[in-house]
Amino acid sequence: MDLRQLRSLVTLVETDFSVSRAAERLNLVQPAVSQHLKQLEAELGCHLVQRQGKRLLGLTKAGDAVLHQARGTLAGVANILAIGRDQAEDRGGVLRLGTTHSQARYVLPPLIRRFRQAFPAVEIQLHQASPEQLVTMLLRDTVDLAICTEAIAQHPELLATPCYRWNRCLIAPLGHPILVQRPISLELLGEQPLVTYVAGFSGHGHFLATFGREGLKPRLTVGAADADVIKTYVREGFGLGIIADLAYDPHADADLGRRDLSHLFPWEVTRLALSRAKYPRAFQGAFMDLFQNEAAAEVRLRQGHEG
């Protein structure tokens, strides 16, 4: 058996069973990948992919099991290379961070600034995606670390550590009556047109569930994946905005009023996650420490800006 055969199998799956695209990704020609598969199946004595003539449809049961092991095996060799680069005192490298917009835009900048001072030779790549996508990106080793609130705590192949908690605030154009109304209740929110996150992002599930528990259904006018877009629609008069507290910027958002909503909704926990199979390089570990230790303080700072 050869590692290249395993790489071909894994890549084939990740290209939706297109041999040619897989070959392209691997810097090989079609026949090479084709042969890899044939060799693997020959050595194992069973088919790994379901075929219909020459068309590849999907994995067989055996193929799925092999895929899983192949991923683990390739992770092992990647780890070995990582150990080498670490040990050789190679201060350079790439830190691929998977994040949602909220993190990249509001939480990460000061932390990354500090990280860069410690590791100036490391290139930082921010891969923005939805939480579900981040999970598969971690599993496929497309990113090294991922930071997000949803979907990441449960997966058995990931190691997720809680880093900080946050809640929501309401934003509205200055002068809007709700900004001076004394107590803000769920019922009150339920009557208003709302602009907030779309499903899958920033605690939207808990958001809806909270209304649901009270037998209410919010009037959502626009849903977006990030707070910047939400703010824009709030400014355009589409309704009240409900965003993560930490996404409110007192300076840039001076034209928007803000009210805390943490008495209405559950706290959300943002986690830093990586694949259990992964050996983190020194600077990756350093970033993890940095984020785990200082993200909470950073967020409190932002929330302290409260006007």
Q: Which of residues 24-63 bind its own copies (CB under 8 A)?
A: 43-46, 61-62
Q: Is residue 92 at the binding interface for its own copies, with CB under 8 A as the rule? A: no
The distance of closest approach from Cβ of residue 217 to DNA in the complex, given in angstroms and rounded to an integer, is 44
Residue 1, contacted partner among DNA, its own copies, none, CB below 5-8 A by kind: its own copies
* Amino acid found at 16: D
Cα angle 173, 175, 176 (rounded to 5 degrees) comes to 65
Q: Which of residues 152-211 bind its own copies (CB under 8 A)?
A: none
Q: Is residue 10 at the binding interface for its own copies, with CB under 8 A as the rule? A: no
**What value does the CA radius of gyration of the chain take, rounded to a whole number of Å?**
23
Q: Is residue 240 at the binding interface for DNA, with CB under 7 A as the rule? A: no
Options 29, 57, 77, 297; binder of its own copies; rule CB under 8 A: 77
Q: Is residue 87 at the binding interface for its own copies, with CB under 8 A as the rule? A: yes
The distance of closest approach from Cβ of residue 36 to its own copies in the complex, given in angstroms and rounded to an integer, is 13
When the beta carbons of 19 and 82 are compared against DNA, the nearer one is: 19
**Judged by CB under 8 A, which stretch of 19-27, 74-82, 214-222, 267-275 contacts its own copies?**
74-82
The distance of closest approach from Cβ of residue 57 to DNA in the complex, given in angstroms and rounded to an integer, is 10
The distance of closest approach from Cβ of residue 32 to its own copies in the complex, given in angstroms and rounded to an integer, is 17
The distance of closest approach from Cβ of residue 73 to its own copies in the complex, given in angstroms and rounded to an integer, is 3
When the beta carbons of 30 and 292 are compared against DNA, the nearer one is: 30
Q: Is residue 57 at the binding interface for DNA, with CB under 7 A as the rule? A: no
Eight-class DSSP state of 55: E
Q: Is residue 123 at the binding interface for its own copies, with CB under 8 A as the rule? A: no
Q: Is residue 34 at the binding interface for DNA, with CB under 7 A as the rule? A: yes
Q: How many CA atoms, within 13 angstroms, populate the side-chain half-sphere of residue 153?
A: 9
Give the tokens for residue 201. Answer: 């992002």
Task: Kindly provide the residue ranges of all beta strands, DSSP E only, lying in the chain, ordered along the sequence.
Answer: 49-52, 55-59, 93-99, 122-128, 145-148, 158-166, 168-173, 193-197, 219-224, 240-244, 256-260, 268-275
Distance CA 7, CA 80 (A): 16
Q: Are 96 and 144 within 8 A, CB to CB?
A: yes
Options 4, 116, 127, 235; binder of DNA; rule CB under 7 A: 4
37-40, long-range: CB within 8 Å, 24+ apart, which pairs? 37/5, 37/8, 37/9, 37/12, 39/2, 39/5, 40/1, 40/5, 40/6, 40/9, 40/66
Q: For residue 281, report the phi and psi dihedrals to the nearest 5 degrees.
A: -65, 165
Q: Which residues bind its own copies (CB under 8 A)?
A: 1-3, 6, 43-46, 61-62, 65-66, 69-70, 72-73, 76-77, 79-81, 83-88, 90, 279
